[in-house]
Structure 1
Amino acid sequence: MNTTTTSNEFLSEMSLLMGLPQGGATALQDSSAFWGPGGLLCRLQMQHDGAVTAVRPQVLLPMLARELAGLRVEQMMAMQQAVMLEYGWMLGLSSEGMLQLSPLKWIEQPSDAVAALDLGHAVGMQALESLFVDEDEETDDGAELDAAKLSPNVGSFSDLADEFDMPWDEAGSARAKRPTLH
């Protein structure tokens, strides 16, 4: 069995599971962008290893990384940590400079790849909600990330902070300040 046949079968099954019309597998070709669940732009990175085809779904968020500044950078980093710890996904940068979510592991089953696209969409929508502020709210330049929305096992933004950077310990006592490097 050649890898093209295996890839086509994999993509055809994904297309069927996603409810795409007949011939929809061509829209899922390696590195071709397509509209995924909920209207986010997606693409599949493919890997062929003998008779096994595996994919790594990529969910592109409609936000350029260069648009992030101030507190939003901190929120994005906390979000990246929560997404990685809870789901094994990476919030990173696409080749177009957009924020992108993708699993760290390759997925070998079409049904698992479709489920991963659904998960990526849900996490992506939460990420966008966390990074954009209602115009009615008064904040510096971003809303505080509620990591509990991403995962019930992860607490608020302050819970995600590295203890070394926290100016107090668990008992509330002040810690020595981090040295300033010049």
Structure 2
Amino acid sequence: MSSSDPTVQPVPASVVERVDAADITLSNPKWAVLSLGSNLGNRLETLQGAVDALEDTPGLRIKAVSPVYETEPWGVAAGSQPSYFNAVVLLKTTLPPTSLLDRGHAIEEAFERVRDEHWGPRTIDVDILTYQDVVSDDPVLTLPHPHCHERAFVLVPWHDVEPEAVIPGRGTVAELLAEVDRAGVVPRVDLELRLPE
């Protein structure tokens, strides 16, 4: 997932990356990108808990975690919900997409996410943005995520961790980011998510 293109911007220093000599614990892993968001409770603690839970998942290895951004809720009236903390995680996994989805749902349940309102506030949201180059219109798990290409709160941190990323069928994250309004997506340079040891 790297590029030798000299025009690619360097990854910001606030991105937390893991560089392994070899991923000896994974056999034939696939790349996946996940989005994390929280706007209830201790948002940073919850995001960190989700990162830790993902890393504790057998067959999954987190490779990079984006900086934290504070963002306005998407799809609802301004001021109707608390602001979100958002981040993007780049990982390698041997789990199939449906098992990765199940793991995301289990993490949401562990943090007592309530699903009683469409685009409602939540303690944690774990979304699969892409899984390798898989394209699927399965309503249970649509890949790539059907809205990821139009959400600045996804594209901004995604570009931080993987500036050369391509969303299958949509184009590059860099190109898509140039077309969206970044208003309401504010970097929280005072906050950082850690990769578990």
Q: Same fold (TM over 0.5)?
A: no
Identify the structure with the greater helix proportion.
Answer: 1
| Higher relative contact order, chain-length normalized (CA < 8 Å, sep 6+) | 2
- Tell me which structure has the larger Cα radius of gyration: 1
TM-score of the superposition, structure 1-length normalised?
0.27
